[in-house]
A and B are shown apart, each in its own frame.
Chain A
Amino acid sequence: MKEFVVISGKGGTGKTSITAAFASLASNAVLADCDVDAADLHLVLEPKIKQESDFSGGKQASIVVEKCIGCGRCSKMCRFDAIQLNGPGNQIVGKTYTVDPISCEGCKVCVEFCPVDAISFKPAINGKWFISDTRFGPMVHAKLGIAEENSGKLVTLIRKEAKRIAEEQKKDLVVIDGSPGIGCPVIASITGADVVLVVTEPTLSGKHDLERVAQLTSNFGIKTLICINKADVNPEMSRNIANDSEKMGLKVVGKIPYDEAFTKAQIMKATLIEYTGGEIAGIVRALWREVVYALE
């Protein structure tokens, strides 16, 4: 069983539209949306949720009003500026300390050093994750809570579940939609994967971001393929990117022209392959064959 991840460095290059098209083309795969803080794949694949679970990536401190003596030790020791003297009074002091849940990183330092054990430390619910059925096979996806953290841990959980389902149902591939950037959710998406496809665009921004993300995949030693989307918007830049990629030892396996069919398919909640049998679909099919070849 293999794991294949689509990422991009720069956002908005077409990761999810291309992943959705691959869902149409992969015959025996589990799908996973690891872009947990702006997940979109479900809008096309319309998963029917079979199992819904809470995700807790860590714990959260909370000050018990009745016990706080207002000494301020917690606030002084908190390195995340998460504790302020703005809580209601109690029988001991006029004002108590409170923890701002958005700033709290769950480090437990305040809990450890509170002289009167006034701080509770309980699992925080950071989001939900789902196991679903789609018209293309099983899908694992998630919804990170608003302004929540621990997206890396949630990505790791989704990949683990997708792999488990793939093994259980004898699927030979997990297709993963990743997130933009190079930070913790991206690292969690690609660590240990078999093949990564980076979807870029022929702009200076796309080129700059591709260089950074390609360095990341190369540091992790993962086989990396490049696809240039909207390649005809700047053909010269597309050639530049192809040359640079070659110098980095990376293969450009597809050049997709700008085509309104991507947006139209999205509006119809269809993959590009379902939406059109035209030339553009042929180009994406050829790209998929390159991916399959790289996975073998």
Chain B
Amino acid sequence: MKIAIASGKGGTGKTTIATNLAVSLLHAGQRVQYLDCDAEEPNGHIFLKPLIDSTEEITVGVPEVDMAKCTGCGKCGRLCQYSAIICLKDKPLVFEQLCHSCGGCMAVCPEGAVIEKQRKIGIAEFGTSNGVYFGHGRLDIGAIQTPAVIKYVKKRIKNDIINIIDAPPGTSCPVIEAIKGSDFVILVTEPTPFGLNDLALAVGMVRELKLPFAVAINRSDIGNDAVLQYCHQENIEVLVQIPNDRKIAENYSRGVMIVEAMPDYKEKFLKLYEDIEKRMKIN
């Protein structure tokens, strides 16, 4: 089982829902893995405080030109769509940061002069948090290949347990990489005009990817009821609502999960999981 937690708008509570859901399921006797795929700003470790037992470098292939073999034909530069390899005065120049690792320059070079070397773009760390399997990716500062880091972390998905994938905010390539292949997506929002606008964008995204989904509303008593109205009109189920509670916010600020500070909330998260399971059976 793979459940992705996503949102259009940032800061709506993806990590809160993902970590609390993981711990609640563990306490109910399930085997759970939490994978933080918000590789630009991963925060799940702040709440789960995992013991890390392996740290792995994440690299992508980038070109290197063997100038002894290069004849300056320019085929590599003409094929590259990202200006990552350009030929000036018959000499190829490589801009590693711009490379998408498509392998085109290496394949097209008639002399075999373009070889692939590895460039580090981030790290992945894996471990456990009191019984929850834990993994996250961290993009290096200044690197841009967020999807490659996410792809690496997702290789750890285990098919026989519950995997909870904490996605990045937004609706573009990193989010798509994080949520694709999921069995169910929870879109977390808040009942404000910004929350509604970005929820509608996220709904467009999951519909385009044809993934089953439902909504969670965080800080449900702020703002107005336009999100509920929207969900009703669009026939989208709201599976859980979490009120705006200063106690939750203060605990969150110190890295304490809701279910630690207020164990009664476990039932709410278990109910969320049961509801997801039911929807999966219907589909």
The chain A residues found within 8 Å of chain B, CB to CB, are: 8-13, 16, 36-38, 40, 43, 58-59, 77, 79-80, 102, 105-109, 112-113, 144, 146-149, 151-152, 179-187, 201-205, 208-209, 212-213, 215-216, 219, 233-234, 237, 260, 263, 266-267, 269
For B74, list chain A residues within 8 Å (CB).
none
Please tell me if the beta carbons of B253 and A233 are within 8 angstroms of each other in the complex. Answer: yes
Please tell me if the beta carbons of B40 and A13 are within 8 angstroms of each other in the complex. Answer: no
- B281 part of interface (Cβ distance < 8 Å): no
Please tell me if the beta carbons of A11 and B9 are within 8 angstroms of each other in the complex. Answer: yes
- Pick from A80, A186, A201, A219: contact of B102, CB under 8 Å: A80
Please tell me if the beta carbons of B142 and A107 are within 8 angstroms of each other in the complex. Answer: no
- Pick from B144, B193, B204, B252: contact of A266, CB under 8 Å: B193
> Which B154-174 residues sit within 8 Å CB-CB of chain A?
168-174
Q: State the CA gap A148–B171 with chains docked (Å).
A: 8
For A237, list chain B residues within 8 Å (CB).
253-254
Please tell me if the beta carbons of B107 and A77 are within 8 angstroms of each other in the complex. Answer: yes
Please tell me if the beta carbons of B108 and A112 are within 8 angstroms of each other in the complex. Answer: yes
- B146 part of interface (Cβ distance < 8 Å): yes
Q: State the CA gap A146–B172 with chains docked (Å).
A: 8
Q: Can you give 13 contacting A-B residue pairs, CB < 8 Å?
A: A10-B11, A16-B194, A37-B170, A38-B169, A40-B198, A108-B104, A181-B169, A201-B253, A212-B41, A219-B142, A234-B253, A266-B193, A267-B223
Nearest residue in B to A187 (C-beta to C-beta)?
A: B144
> Which B42-85 residues sit within 8 Å CB-CB of chain A?
43, 46, 79, 81-82
The chain B residues found within 8 Å of chain A, CB to CB, are: 8-12, 15, 40-41, 43, 46, 79, 81-82, 100-104, 107-108, 139, 141-142, 144, 146, 168-174, 176, 180, 192-194, 197-198, 201, 204-205, 208-209, 222-224, 246, 249-250, 252-255
For B100, list chain A residues within 8 Å (CB).
105, 107
For B249, list chain A residues within 8 Å (CB).
233
Please tell me if the beta carbons of B9 and A205 are within 8 angstroms of each other in the complex. Answer: no
Please tell me if the beta carbons of B171 and A267 are within 8 angstroms of each other in the complex. Answer: no
Please tell me if the beta carbons of B141 and A10 are within 8 angstroms of each other in the complex. Answer: no
Please tell me if the beta carbons of A108 and B107 are within 8 angstroms of each other in the complex. Answer: no
Chain A nearest Cβ from B105, distance in angstroms: 9
Please tell me if the beta carbons of B172 and A109 are within 8 angstroms of each other in the complex. Answer: no
Q: Which of A13, A16, A205 has the most CB of B within 10 A?
A: A205
Nearest residue in A to B16 (C-beta to C-beta)?
A: A205
For B176, list chain A residues within 8 Å (CB).
102, 147
Q: Contacts A147-B209, A212-B141 known; A109 to B41 CB distance under 8 Å? A: no
Q: Contacts A107-B81, A234-B254 known; A180 to B169 CB distance under 8 Å? A: yes
For A182, list chain B residues within 8 Å (CB).
40-41, 139, 141
Nearest residue in B to A215 (C-beta to C-beta)?
A: B141
Q: State the CA gap A96–B102 with chains docked (Å).
A: 22
Please tell me if the beta carbons of B79 and A147 are within 8 angstroms of each other in the complex. Answer: no
Q: State the CA gap A118–B165 with chains docked (Å).
A: 38
Please tell me if the beta carbons of B41 and A37 are within 8 angstroms of each other in the complex. Answer: no
Sample of 13 more A-B contacts, CB < 8 Å, known A38-B9, A77-B103: A12-B12, A58-B81, A79-B101, A106-B81, A108-B79, A108-B104, A109-B79, A109-B103, A147-B209, A181-B170, A203-B252, A213-B41, A267-B193
Please tell me if the beta carbons of A146 and B11 are within 8 angstroms of each other in the complex. Answer: no
